[in-house]
């Protein structure tokens, strides 16, 4: 009980009690003291947390400071697949002299994000041998319907302006690579 009387918690604001008579911890059971003045020594009796005790700051363990990490710089240009639009479809896909890999995706599609990573890796590995593009089916549904794409993610492989392979769903990278190797 002595620890409760020496707690260093601040007194509650006077506005909470509106001058209601509160019993002081040292007062006799029949005596009551009004409010909290300079002579009042009442503290929160329920506060027994060790962090409020004097000298507790020396007992608080803090992690050692970390050394300053080297700053990483990233380029705004992504070396992965580029975004294509309906306006540039003929120029980049139909009239291309090398095979083209197109990923049909949507921003709300979770599996499409997994296919994004695979297509970006393929674009880096096969740079110069194939071109990789992404087309948002929400923005350009007319192209998706013209190639009978009902589900996403769907990856189409074009060669000489004609669709030669279609892959629907999230599949391992080896499946995409096998289809590319057949077309090259």
The partner residues of 21 in beta bridges, in order of sequence, read 34
For the chain, give every domain's residue range: 7-58, 82-183
The three-state DSSP-derived secondary structure of the chain is: CHHHHCCCCCCCCHHHHCCCEECCCCCCCCCCEECCCCCCCCCCCCCCCHHHCCCHHHHCCCCCCCCCCCCCCCCCCCCCCEECCCCCHHHHHHCCCCCEEEEEECCCCHHHHHHHHHHHHHHHHCECCEEEEEEECCCCHHHHHHCCCCCCCEEEEEECCEEEEEEECCCCHHHHHHHHHHHC
Who has greater pLDDT, 62 or 29? 62
pLDDT tops 90 at residue 52:
no
Instruction: State the catalytic residues.
Output: 109, 112
Q: Which of 153, 139, 163, 175 is nearest to 104 (CA)?
A: 153
- The answer to whether 89 touches 143, Cβ cutoff 8 Å, is yes
pLDDT of residue 75: 47
The pLDDT confidence band at residue 10, using thresholds 50, 70 and 90, is: low
pTM of the full structure: 0.57
Quick: pLDDT tens for 93-148: 999 999 999 999 999 999 999 999 999 999 999 988 999 999 999 999 999 999 99
Radius of gyration of the chain (CA): 35
**Above pLDDT 70, what percent of the chain?**
59
pLDDT of residue 184: 81
pLDDT tops 50 at residue 74:
no
The CATH classification number of 82-183 equals: 3.40.30.10
Who has greater pLDDT, 175 or 45? 175
Q: Which residues of 132-155 are buried (b: 16+ CB within 10 A; e: fewer)?
A: bbbbbbeebeebbeeeebeebbbb
Q: What is the mean pLDDT of residues 154-176?
A: 93
pLDDT tops 70 at residue 151:
yes
């Amino acid at each position: 009980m002595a620890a409760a009387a020496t707690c260093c918690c601040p007194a509650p604001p006077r506005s909470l009690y509106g001058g209601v008579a509160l019993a002081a911890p040292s007062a006799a059971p029949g005596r009551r003291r009004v409010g909290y003045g300079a002579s009042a020594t009442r503290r929160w009796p329920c506060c027994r947390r060790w962090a409020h005790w004097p000298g507790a700051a020396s007992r608080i363990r803090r992690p050692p400071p970390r050394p300053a990490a080297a700053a990483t710089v990233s380029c705004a240009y992504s070396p992965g697949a580029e975004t294509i639009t309906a306006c540039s479809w003929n120029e980049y896909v139909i009239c291309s002299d090398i095979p083209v890999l197109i990923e049909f995706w949507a921003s709300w599609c979770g599996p499409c994000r997994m296919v994004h990573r695979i297509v970006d890796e393929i674009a880096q590995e096969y740079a110069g041998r194939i071109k990789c593009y992404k087309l948002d089916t929400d923005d350009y549904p007319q192209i998706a319907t013209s190639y009978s794409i009902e589900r996403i993610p769907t990856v189409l492989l074009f060669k000489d302006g004609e669709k030669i392979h279609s892959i629907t769903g999230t599949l391992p990278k080896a499946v995409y690579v096998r289809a590319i190797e057949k077309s090259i």
